[in-house]
Amino acid sequence: MAVKLVVEDVGKDYLIPIIDRVSFSVDAGEFLCLLGPNGCGKTTLLRIIGGLEPATRGAVGIDGELIVAGRPHQRRIGVVFQEDRLLPWMTLEDNVALVLKPLGMPATERLATARRYLGLVGLAGFETYYPGRVSGGMRQRAAIARALAIEPDVLLMDEPFGALDAQNRRIMQREVRRIWRETGRTILFVTHAIEEAVEIGTTLVMLSARPSRIRELIRNDGRVERLKLIDDLNTMIMEEVERQQGGAP
Ligand SMILES: Nc1ncnc2c1ncn2[C@@H]1O[C@H](COP(=O)(O)OP(=O)(O)OP(=O)(O)O)[C@@H](O)[C@H]1O
Ligand SMILES: [Mg+2]
Protein backbone atom coordinates (compact mmCIF):
# COMPACT_ATOMS: atom_id res chain seq x y z
CA MET A 1 0.00 0.00 0.00
CA ALA A 2 1.32 3.42 -0.90
CA VAL A 3 1.45 5.91 1.93
CA LYS A 4 1.92 9.60 2.60
CA LEU A 5 5.21 10.68 4.09
CA VAL A 6 5.47 13.91 6.06
CA VAL A 7 8.74 15.59 7.00
CA GLU A 8 8.05 18.39 9.46
CA ASP A 9 10.65 20.94 10.52
CA VAL A 10 13.37 18.29 10.53
CA GLY A 11 16.82 19.52 11.48
CA LYS A 12 20.13 17.86 12.30
CA ASP A 13 23.27 19.09 14.03
CA TYR A 14 26.44 17.08 14.21
CA LEU A 15 29.44 19.14 15.30
CA ILE A 16 28.04 21.84 13.07
CA PRO A 17 24.42 22.38 11.98
CA ILE A 18 23.83 20.27 8.87
CA ILE A 19 20.11 20.50 8.23
CA ASP A 20 18.53 23.69 9.48
CA ARG A 21 14.83 23.04 9.01
CA VAL A 22 13.22 21.07 6.24
CA SER A 23 9.53 20.39 5.70
CA PHE A 24 7.82 18.66 2.81
CA SER A 25 5.39 15.88 2.19
CA VAL A 26 5.38 13.07 -0.29
CA ASP A 27 1.94 11.92 -1.38
CA ALA A 28 1.05 8.27 -1.79
CA GLY A 29 2.52 6.97 -5.00
CA GLU A 30 4.63 10.06 -5.62
CA PHE A 31 8.20 9.93 -6.93
CA LEU A 32 10.14 12.67 -5.15
CA CYS A 33 13.69 13.52 -6.18
CA LEU A 34 15.96 15.24 -3.68
CA LEU A 35 18.77 17.41 -5.05
CA GLY A 36 21.39 19.56 -3.37
CA PRO A 37 25.11 20.30 -3.13
CA ASN A 38 27.60 17.77 -1.71
CA GLY A 39 27.46 17.58 2.04
CA CYS A 40 24.18 19.50 2.46
CA GLY A 41 22.65 16.56 4.32
CA LYS A 42 20.74 14.52 1.71
CA THR A 43 21.96 11.14 2.99
CA THR A 44 21.46 12.32 6.57
CA LEU A 45 17.87 13.31 5.76
CA LEU A 46 17.20 9.94 4.12
CA ARG A 47 18.60 8.15 7.15
CA ILE A 48 16.40 10.22 9.47
CA ILE A 49 13.32 9.44 7.35
CA GLY A 50 14.23 5.74 7.38
CA GLY A 51 14.54 5.75 11.16
CA LEU A 52 18.27 4.92 10.94
CA GLU A 53 19.38 8.22 12.50
CA PRO A 54 17.72 10.47 15.10
CA ALA A 55 16.74 14.00 14.10
CA THR A 56 17.92 16.87 16.31
CA ARG A 57 14.54 18.55 15.83
CA GLY A 58 11.32 18.01 13.99
CA ALA A 59 9.41 14.87 13.13
CA VAL A 60 8.83 12.34 10.39
CA GLY A 61 5.46 10.68 9.96
CA ILE A 62 4.22 7.97 7.64
CA ASP A 63 0.43 7.97 7.34
CA GLY A 64 0.27 9.60 10.75
CA GLU A 65 2.67 7.24 12.50
CA LEU A 66 5.77 8.85 13.98
CA ILE A 67 9.10 7.40 12.81
CA VAL A 68 11.67 7.62 15.59
CA ALA A 69 15.17 6.13 15.29
CA GLY A 70 15.59 3.05 17.45
CA ARG A 71 11.89 2.77 18.20
CA PRO A 72 9.87 0.01 16.49
CA HIS A 73 7.18 1.10 14.06
CA GLN A 74 4.62 -0.57 11.85
CA ARG A 75 5.90 0.78 8.56
CA ARG A 76 8.01 -1.05 6.06
CA ILE A 77 10.75 1.16 4.74
CA GLY A 78 12.96 -0.12 1.93
CA VAL A 79 16.37 1.47 1.48
CA VAL A 80 18.70 1.30 -1.52
CA PHE A 81 22.12 2.71 -0.72
CA GLN A 82 24.68 4.02 -3.17
CA GLU A 83 26.62 0.77 -2.83
CA ASP A 84 24.71 -2.47 -3.35
CA ARG A 85 25.59 -3.90 0.11
CA LEU A 86 24.94 -7.48 -1.03
CA LEU A 87 26.53 -10.31 0.92
CA PRO A 88 29.18 -11.74 -1.43
CA TRP A 89 28.96 -15.27 -0.03
CA MET A 90 25.26 -15.60 -0.82
CA THR A 91 23.54 -16.00 -4.19
CA LEU A 92 21.36 -13.15 -5.42
CA GLU A 93 18.19 -15.03 -4.46
CA ASP A 94 19.51 -15.79 -0.98
CA ASN A 95 20.50 -12.15 -0.53
CA VAL A 96 16.94 -11.09 -1.30
CA ALA A 97 15.32 -13.94 0.66
CA LEU A 98 17.37 -13.01 3.74
CA VAL A 99 15.52 -9.73 4.32
CA LEU A 100 12.19 -11.59 4.28
CA LYS A 101 13.13 -13.73 7.26
CA PRO A 102 12.23 -11.13 9.93
CA LEU A 103 8.79 -10.86 8.31
CA GLY A 104 8.07 -14.41 9.41
CA MET A 105 7.71 -15.79 5.89
CA PRO A 106 8.29 -19.55 5.49
CA ALA A 107 11.49 -20.55 3.64
CA THR A 108 9.83 -21.73 0.41
CA GLU A 109 7.77 -18.56 0.17
CA ARG A 110 10.86 -16.45 0.84
CA LEU A 111 12.64 -18.03 -2.08
CA ALA A 112 9.65 -17.74 -4.39
CA THR A 113 9.25 -14.05 -3.46
CA ALA A 114 12.96 -13.39 -3.98
CA ARG A 115 12.78 -14.94 -7.45
CA ARG A 116 9.69 -12.94 -8.33
CA TYR A 117 11.37 -9.64 -7.46
CA LEU A 118 14.60 -10.57 -9.18
CA GLY A 119 12.46 -11.20 -12.24
CA LEU A 120 10.81 -7.81 -11.83
CA VAL A 121 14.18 -6.04 -12.05
CA GLY A 122 15.21 -8.08 -15.08
CA LEU A 123 17.42 -10.66 -13.35
CA ALA A 124 15.49 -13.82 -14.25
CA GLY A 125 18.03 -16.56 -14.94
CA PHE A 126 20.63 -15.03 -12.59
CA GLU A 127 18.98 -16.01 -9.30
CA THR A 128 21.66 -18.47 -8.27
CA TYR A 129 24.62 -16.29 -9.29
CA TYR A 130 26.90 -14.85 -6.63
CA PRO A 131 27.27 -11.03 -6.57
CA GLY A 132 30.89 -11.32 -7.71
CA ARG A 133 29.78 -13.08 -10.90
CA VAL A 134 27.43 -10.38 -12.20
CA SER A 135 27.99 -6.80 -13.37
CA GLY A 136 27.74 -3.69 -11.17
CA GLY A 137 24.47 -2.75 -12.80
CA MET A 138 23.06 -6.21 -12.10
CA ARG A 139 24.19 -6.02 -8.46
CA GLN A 140 22.43 -2.69 -8.11
CA ARG A 141 19.29 -4.22 -9.62
CA ALA A 142 19.51 -7.03 -7.06
CA ALA A 143 19.78 -4.43 -4.30
CA ILE A 144 16.64 -2.77 -5.66
CA ALA A 145 14.88 -6.16 -5.77
CA ARG A 146 15.88 -6.70 -2.14
CA ALA A 147 14.40 -3.33 -1.11
CA LEU A 148 11.20 -4.01 -3.07
CA ALA A 149 10.75 -7.59 -1.86
CA ILE A 150 9.66 -6.49 1.62
CA GLU A 151 6.86 -4.60 -0.18
CA PRO A 152 7.88 -1.34 1.47
CA ASP A 153 5.39 1.42 2.19
CA VAL A 154 8.14 3.86 1.32
CA LEU A 155 11.22 3.27 -0.81
CA LEU A 156 14.26 5.43 -0.03
CA MET A 157 16.99 5.47 -2.69
CA ASP A 158 20.29 7.24 -2.11
CA GLU A 159 22.02 7.85 -5.44
CA PRO A 160 21.38 4.25 -6.41
CA PHE A 161 22.89 4.69 -9.87
CA GLY A 162 25.91 6.73 -8.79
CA ALA A 163 28.35 3.95 -9.63
CA LEU A 164 26.84 3.07 -13.00
CA ASP A 165 28.00 4.09 -16.46
CA ALA A 166 25.72 6.32 -18.55
CA GLN A 167 24.24 3.42 -20.51
CA ASN A 168 23.35 1.32 -17.47
CA ARG A 169 22.10 4.41 -15.74
CA ARG A 170 19.55 5.10 -18.46
CA ILE A 171 18.41 1.49 -18.43
CA MET A 172 18.00 1.57 -14.65
CA GLN A 173 16.12 4.89 -14.72
CA ARG A 174 13.63 3.32 -17.10
CA GLU A 175 13.40 0.19 -14.95
CA VAL A 176 12.84 2.09 -11.72
CA ARG A 177 10.12 4.17 -13.34
CA ARG A 178 8.50 1.02 -14.65
CA ILE A 179 8.68 -0.65 -11.23
CA TRP A 180 7.27 2.50 -9.66
CA ARG A 181 4.36 2.48 -12.10
CA GLU A 182 3.76 -1.25 -11.60
CA THR A 183 4.00 -1.29 -7.80
CA GLY A 184 2.72 2.22 -7.00
CA ARG A 185 5.24 2.75 -4.19
CA THR A 186 5.98 6.10 -2.60
CA ILE A 187 9.58 6.82 -3.57
CA LEU A 188 12.15 9.31 -2.30
CA PHE A 189 15.17 9.35 -4.55
CA VAL A 190 18.42 11.26 -3.97
CA THR A 191 20.47 12.14 -7.01
CA HIS A 192 23.18 14.54 -8.14
CA ALA A 193 22.08 14.28 -11.72
CA ILE A 194 19.61 17.03 -12.54
CA GLU A 195 18.56 15.52 -15.87
CA GLU A 196 17.89 12.25 -14.10
CA ALA A 197 15.66 14.00 -11.56
CA VAL A 198 13.73 15.83 -14.28
CA GLU A 199 13.41 12.57 -16.19
CA ILE A 200 11.97 10.47 -13.38
CA GLY A 201 10.67 12.68 -10.53
CA THR A 202 7.08 13.82 -10.09
CA THR A 203 8.27 16.38 -7.52
CA LEU A 204 11.75 17.89 -7.29
CA VAL A 205 13.13 19.27 -4.04
CA MET A 206 16.30 21.34 -4.19
CA LEU A 207 18.08 21.77 -0.87
CA SER A 208 20.24 24.80 -0.15
CA ALA A 209 23.82 24.94 1.08
CA ARG A 210 24.51 23.78 4.64
CA PRO A 211 22.76 24.24 7.03
CA SER A 212 20.18 23.23 4.50
CA ARG A 213 16.66 24.39 3.93
CA ILE A 214 14.41 23.86 0.95
CA ARG A 215 15.54 26.17 -1.79
CA GLU A 216 12.84 25.16 -4.24
CA LEU A 217 10.05 22.60 -4.50
CA ILE A 218 8.88 21.99 -8.04
CA ARG A 219 5.96 19.89 -9.23
CA ASN A 220 7.32 18.25 -12.35
CA ASP A 221 4.00 18.21 -14.16
CA GLY A 222 5.23 19.33 -17.55
CA ARG A 223 4.08 22.92 -17.08
CA VAL A 224 7.66 24.15 -17.17
CA GLU A 225 9.45 23.11 -20.32
CA ARG A 226 12.00 20.35 -19.67
CA LEU A 227 15.11 22.12 -20.93
CA LYS A 228 14.23 25.30 -19.04
CA LEU A 229 13.69 23.31 -15.87
CA ILE A 230 17.09 21.62 -16.25
CA ASP A 231 18.66 25.02 -16.88
CA ASP A 232 17.02 26.62 -13.84
CA LEU A 233 18.00 23.74 -11.57
CA ASN A 234 21.59 23.86 -12.84
CA THR A 235 21.76 27.57 -12.01
CA MET A 236 20.33 26.92 -8.56
CA ILE A 237 22.72 24.13 -7.71
CA MET A 238 25.73 26.17 -8.88
CA GLU A 239 24.67 29.02 -6.60
CA GLU A 240 24.24 26.67 -3.66
CA VAL A 241 27.59 24.94 -4.30
CA GLU A 242 29.29 28.36 -4.35
CA ARG A 243 27.49 29.44 -1.20
CA GLN A 244 28.54 26.24 0.55
CA GLN A 245 32.17 26.59 -0.54
CA GLY A 246 32.16 30.20 0.67
CA GLY A 247 30.97 29.13 4.11
CA ALA A 248 32.93 27.33 6.81
CA PRO A 249 33.77 24.52 7.27
N1 LIG B 1 27.92 10.53 11.71
C2 LIG B 1 28.33 11.77 11.44
N3 LIG B 1 29.04 12.48 12.34
C4 LIG B 1 29.42 13.75 12.08
N5 LIG B 1 29.17 14.39 10.93
C6 LIG B 1 28.49 13.73 9.99
C7 LIG B 1 28.03 12.38 10.18
N8 LIG B 1 27.38 11.98 9.07
C9 LIG B 1 27.42 13.02 8.21
N10 LIG B 1 28.09 14.07 8.76
C11 LIG B 1 28.31 15.38 8.13
O12 LIG B 1 27.06 15.86 7.71
C13 LIG B 1 27.18 16.56 6.48
C14 LIG B 1 26.17 16.05 5.51
O15 LIG B 1 26.50 14.71 5.13
P16 LIG B 1 25.59 13.88 4.14
O17 LIG B 1 26.29 12.61 3.87
O18 LIG B 1 24.21 13.81 4.66
O19 LIG B 1 25.61 14.83 2.85
P20 LIG B 1 25.06 14.56 1.40
O21 LIG B 1 24.20 15.72 1.03
O22 LIG B 1 24.47 13.21 1.31
O23 LIG B 1 26.40 14.64 0.54
P24 LIG B 1 26.80 13.90 -0.83
O25 LIG B 1 26.15 14.70 -1.91
O26 LIG B 1 28.27 14.03 -0.88
O27 LIG B 1 26.33 12.49 -0.75
C28 LIG B 1 28.63 16.42 6.06
O29 LIG B 1 29.30 17.62 6.37
C30 LIG B 1 29.15 15.27 6.90
O31 LIG B 1 30.51 15.47 7.21
MG1 LIG C 1 24.98 11.47 0.28
Q: What is the tens place of the pLDDT at every residue in 189-241?
A: 999 889 999 989 999 999 999 999 999 999 998 888 899 999 999 999 999 99
pLDDT at 206: 96
71: CA distance to ligand 2 center in Å?
24
Domain boundaries, the chain: 1-76+156-249, 87-151
Provide the angle, in degrees to the nearest 10, between the axes of the packed helices 136-149 and 107-120: 130
- Read off φ and ψ for residue 34, nearest 5 degrees: -110, 125
Q: What is the tens place of the pLDDT at every residue in 69-83?
A: 888 777 889 999 888
Query: How would you list the strands of the sheet with 5-13, edge to edge?
Result: 17-26, 5-13, 57-62, 65-66
pTM over 0.85: yes
Q: What is the tens place of the pLDDT at every residue in 100-138?
A: 999 899 999 999 999 999 998 889 999 999 999 999 889
Average pLDDT, rounded, for the chain = 91
pLDDT at 229: 93
d(CA 149, CA 159) in angstroms, rounded, equals 19
> Considering every ligand atom, which ligand is closest to the CA of 34?
1
Mean pLDDT of 174-202: 89
Burial pattern 92-124, b for ≥16 Cβ within 10 A else e, equals bbbbbbbbbeeeebeeeebbebbbebbebbbbe
Q: Is the pLDDT assigned to residue 248 strictly greater than 60?
A: no
pLDDT at 88: 97
Is the CB of 198 inside a 6 Å radius of any atom of ligand 1? no
14: CA distance to ligand 1 center in Å?
9
Q: Is the pLDDT assigned to residue 56 strictly greater than 70?
A: yes
- Which CATH homologous superfamily contains domain 1-76+156-249? P-loop containing nucleotide triphosphate hydrolases (3.40.50.300)
Is the CB of 56 inside a 6 Å radius of any atom of ligand 1? no
pLDDT at 46: 95
The CA distances from residue 195 to 147, 228, 234, in Å, are 24, 11, 9
d(CA 181, CA 102) in angstroms, rounded, equals 27
pLDDT at 63: 87
Is the CB of 162 inside a 6 Å radius of any atom of ligand 1? no
Is the CB of 209 inside a 6 Å radius of any atom of ligand 1? no
Ligand 1 atom index nearest CA of 46: 18
